[in-house]
Each structure stands twice: as C-alpha cells, then as structure tokens.
C-alpha cells in the first residue's frame, strides 16, 4: 500500500495562484478508499478537502485560486520607498491522507514539499527562476506627470546578491538611488518614487528606472508629460498582481450624469415616483500614446478596481470601456476613450461630536448567606437600580417558602410600605432588578422558612 503524488511543485518554488497547478495523486489501493488533503497556509490549517478519484486509483486536483479570495490587496498612500511585499505571497503545505470510505480510518499519508503561491487574477506566463520580473507593468514605456508617482512592483530571484535601483534622466544623471542588502531567496518588492522628492530640470523628457540584481539589469522608461493638451488626469488601477498603479493622461475629460427613475402604479391608475438613482460617468481621452505606451489602456480596461484622483481624494469608479484598438496599419499614435461609471448619492455619515460610553461594574452592596431570619440594609440616597440574585440550592427539596422583600422605610422592623416581594418555591438561580427613586431610603428583608440551607442572596447597586 503506498501513495504517489505526481507533478509536485519544487520545494520553495513560487507559483501564481491564478494559474493552473494540477496535482495527481494515486494509490495501490483500489475501490473503497478516498484521498483527503490537509492544506496549511503559513503553517496554519486552512482547509480540509476530499479529493474524489477519477478511477479506482487516481485523483487529479487543480489548485487554481486556492487562496485567491483571501488575499488582501490594498491601496495605501503613496510615498517614496522600497518595501518587500509579503502580504501577497503565502507558504503552502499540503498533506495527502488516504482513508477508508466505510469508517474514515486513516490508511496512509504523504506530505508534499512546501511551496509558495503569489496573488494574480488573470493567468499569465511566470517563471520564478528569472532573476528579475516586472509584476503586471506591461507597457515598455509609461507616461507620468512632472509631479506624479512612479510605482514599480517587481520579483527577484537572488542568490547571495543585492538589489540596486537607480533612477536616471536622459543624460544618465542619477536622480535617485536605493538598495537592498545582499540576500538569497525569491521575493516581491514595490518601488515607489514621488517625483516631488527628486530634482528634475525643465527640459528633462524622460526617466529610466534601472533595477539590478547581481549581473542582470532590467529597466522601465517613463515619458514626462511636459506640454499637456488638457489638465492631466490621474487614474489608479489595480493590476493583475494586486498592486495599485497610477496612470496619467492629458486628453479631454468629460463628466456626465445619468438618471434611472423608479415608479409604482397607484390605485388611481397613475404612476408615482418613489426613487431616482443618479449615476455619474467619466469619459477620459488618453491623449496621444505611441505604440510602446498604449498597453496601459488594456490594463486599465481589465482592472477590477479603479480610482479617479479628485484633488487629494480617490473616488472609486468602475470601468465600462467597451473596446480599444490593439493595432492598425500605418498607425503609430493612438488615442482612446476610457469610460468609467460611479454611483452618485452614496450615503454619508452624520457629522457630530461622538462620545463613548462604557458599562460600569455593579457595586456589591450586601450578601445574605445561609439566611434563616430577617435582616435589613439601607441604600445610599443616590439614583441607583437594585439587582438581586438569589441562589436556591437543589440539595434538598423545597418544602417551604423563601421570600425576599423590598421596603420603603427606615431600618427594619420599623413600620414599612412593601414595594416588591419575590417568592421562590423552586430551586434555581433567579435574577431580577428593581428601580430605586433618588433621595429615598430603602430596607430589604429576607426569610427562609424551613427551606434548604445554603440559600444565598446577593444585592448589587447599579448606576442607571
């Protein structure tokens, strides 16, 4: 009896969660057995799955989107930095068990080598053995405003090597540099540069960003928008690998509103409006893009999460672009209309000065233990509420009455007005509350007439 796992990922390899990863598991046992997979994410049990067999011996399982819904891509404020991205890579451990169908008893088990998955949505070619890979930054050349934000996500496979990033102008002057000390391993990084943090002379037309790991260098070019046709529009989109990328366009911006009217028919056979939904639409012309810049259009049109920068705020928008031109003979300059919609009339929180209230621990006022007679207590003249908890034990049957009384009076046994009486004829724990009037004295009396010993009462004073 033995388990065999085929097409196993290499130990410590990094695979894309949105790509197909088909695992084949077989056993020499035949009918009457099944495979159970225990899946651990970062060494914590995440899921247990029964893998059905396609015949008596073999089961095939595609691990695509194993953790996709649980990754957490997030838009955070942009600032100049170089940061390792650990939140979009997860360690995977899978243990395959073979169990008997009849009684679910464990027959055998086999663990796969640990590997890693990295977030992505759309299946793409990826090789974690490449020294440097850009993550979802498809255009060879990107456009940026002179005060824009440059964002580059990238993956490295280092072997006792460091990372060096240089940002240069067209004259090869280094405007900004940063690095990561020597290490070995496969990691993802996000490089962000606010151009306000560097000095760019007016006649600079483009920037080169060079990323070097060991002896290999990869670069991206950014054309600076110097003479925009219209005010520059900034769109933030989430790319295929979960990173938020700013894109800049100098084409015409158009903002329109659409209305959807909802009505109902009244008893007089006319129609009454009960709701009007307003939807806004942004139509953004990209301006002139050359053939090496235009791939940004497709990335934005396919993005599931986009924002329109309005002043210092980011307005969530949904792409509604229907098509774009991929290629046209004798055409070197492209301009497209990107279209986005957003819901108007979204709810706003009321503006007020909030406070926080916290429940107070009850003040223990008095406790009656093993009560066999009368007693009395006086409450301080404050605005309080009385909570009474009575525990009547079950050690003996109740053959008599235990009662608890609340009086408006001075100390018992002075003449009193009975305000409340609680009788207990069965064992158990009872709780009740009684309102107290401010500025009034109270006394409390209990009596255990041949009831079980150990009957206790607790009095608590509570702030209202």
- pLDDT number for residue 291: 85
Same topology between domain 132-226 and domain 363-463:
no
Residues 6 or more apart in contact with residue 307 via CB below 8 angstroms = 75, 235, 236, 237, 244, 314, 315, 316, 317
Distances (CA, A) of 118 to 18, 65, 91, 217, 300: 8, 10, 9, 23, 21
User: With bands split at pLDDT 50, 70 and 90, how would you rate the model's confidence at 279?
Assistant: confident
Dist. CA 220–CA 140, nearest whole Å: 7
Q: Which of 273, 304, 281, 229 is nearest to 71 (CA)?
A: 304
pLDDT at residue 444, as a whole number = 59
Identify which of 320, 249, 313, 312 has the alpha carbon closest to the alpha carbon of residue 282.
Answer: 320
Q: What is the reported pLDDT for 375?
A: 47
Under a CB-based contact definition with an 8 Å cutoff, are residues 13 and 21 in contact?
no
Domain 363-463 grouped into CATH 2.40.10.340: no
The sheet carrying 442-448 orders its strands as 417-424, 402-408, 442-448
Query: Where residue 342 falls among pLDDT bands split at 50, 70, 90?
Result: confident
Angstrom distance (rounded) from CA 117 to CA 91 = 7
112-142 pLDDT tens trace: 999 999 999 999 999 999 999 999 999 999 9
> Token pair of 272, please?
């009454």
358-377 residue pLDDT tens: 665 555 545 555 444 444 55
Distance between CA 6 and CA 26 in Å, rounded?
8
Task: Indicate the DSSP class of residue 114.
Answer: P
- Nearest in space to 321 (alpha carbons), one of 223, 224, 237: 237
Q: Kindly report whether the peptide bond that precedes residue 413 is cis, defined as omega within 30 degrees of 0.
A: yes
For residue 327, the 8-state DSSP code is -
- The model's pLDDT over 27-50, given as tens digits with 9 standing for 90+, comes to 999 889 999 999 999 999 999 999
Q: Which pair of tokens denotes residue 318?
A: 């949904």
Supply the mean pLDDT for the chain.
83
Pairing of strands 337-343, 313-319: antiparallel
- As a CATH number, domain 3-73+88-118 is 2.60.40.2550
3-state secondary structure of 9: coil
CATH 2.60.40.1930, applies to 132-226: yes
Report domain extents, the chain. 3-73+88-118, 132-226, 248-343, 363-463
Report how far residue 143's alpha carbon sits from residue 289's, in angstroms, rounded to the nearest whole number: 9
Which tokens sit at 175?
């405007």
Specify which residues 41 forms β-bridges with: 44, 92
Q: What is the pLDDT of residue 64?
A: 96
Cα 250-319-278 angle, rounded to 5 deg:
100
Q: How many CB atoms lie within 10 A of CB 234?
A: 18
């Amino acid at each position: 009896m033995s388990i065999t796992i085929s097409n196993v990922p290499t130990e410590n390899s990094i695979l894309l969660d949105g790509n197909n990863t088909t695992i084949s598991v077989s056993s020499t046992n035949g009918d009457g057995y099944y495979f159970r997979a225990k899946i651990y994410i970062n060494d914590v049990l995440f899921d247990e799955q029964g893998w059905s067999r396609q015949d008596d011996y073999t089961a095939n399982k595609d691990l695509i989107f194993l953790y996709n819904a649980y990754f957490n891509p997030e838009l955070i404020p942009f600032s100049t930095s170089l940061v390792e991205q650990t939140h979009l890579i997860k360690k995977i451990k899978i243990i395959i068990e073979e169990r008997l169908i009849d009684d679910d008893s464990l027959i055998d088990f086999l663990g796969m080598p640990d590997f890693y998955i990295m977030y992505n949505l759309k299946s793409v070619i990826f090789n974690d053995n490449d020294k440097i890979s850009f993550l979802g930054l498809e255009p060879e050349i990107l456009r940026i405003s002179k005060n824009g934000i440059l964002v580059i996500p990238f993956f490295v496979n280092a072997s006792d090597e460091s990372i060096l990033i240089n940002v240069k102008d067209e004259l090869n002057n280094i405007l900004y540099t940063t690095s990561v000390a020597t290490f070995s391993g496969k990691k993802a990084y996000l490089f962000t540069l606010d151009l306000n943090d560097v000095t760019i002379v007016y006649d600079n037309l483009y920037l080169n960003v060079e990323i070097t790991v060991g002896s290999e260098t990869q670069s991206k070019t950014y054309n600076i928008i110097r003479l925009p046709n219209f005010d520059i529009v900034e769109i933030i989109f989430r790319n295929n690998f979960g990173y938020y990328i700013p894109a800049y366009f100098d084409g015409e911006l158009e903002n329109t509103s659409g209305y959807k009217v909802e009505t109902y028919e009244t008893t007089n056979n006319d129609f009454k409006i009960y709701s009007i939904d307003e939807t806004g639409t942004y139509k953004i012309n990209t301006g002139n893009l050359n053939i090496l810049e235009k791939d940004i259009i497709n990335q934005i049109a396919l993005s599931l999460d986009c924002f329109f920068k309005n002043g210092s705020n980011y307005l969530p928008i949904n792409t509604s672009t229907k098509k774009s031109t991929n290629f046209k003979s004798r055409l070197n300059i492209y301009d497209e209309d990107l279209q986005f919609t957003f819901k108007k009339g979204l709810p706003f929180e009321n503006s007020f000065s909030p406070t926080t209230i916290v429940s107070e621990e009850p003040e223990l006022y008095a406790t009656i233990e093993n009560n066999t007679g009368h007693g009395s207590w006086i409450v301080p003249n404050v605005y309080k509420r009385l909570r009474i908890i009575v525990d009547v034990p079950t050690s003996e049957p109740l053959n008599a009455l235990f009662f608890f009384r609340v009086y408006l009076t001075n100390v018992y046994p002075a003449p009193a007005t009975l305000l409340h009486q609680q009788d207990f004829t069965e064992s158990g724990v009872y709780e009740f509350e009684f309102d107290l009037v401010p500025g009034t004295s109270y006394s409390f009396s209990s009596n255990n007439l041949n009831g079980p010993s150990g009957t206790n009462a607790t009095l608590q004073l509570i702030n209202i």
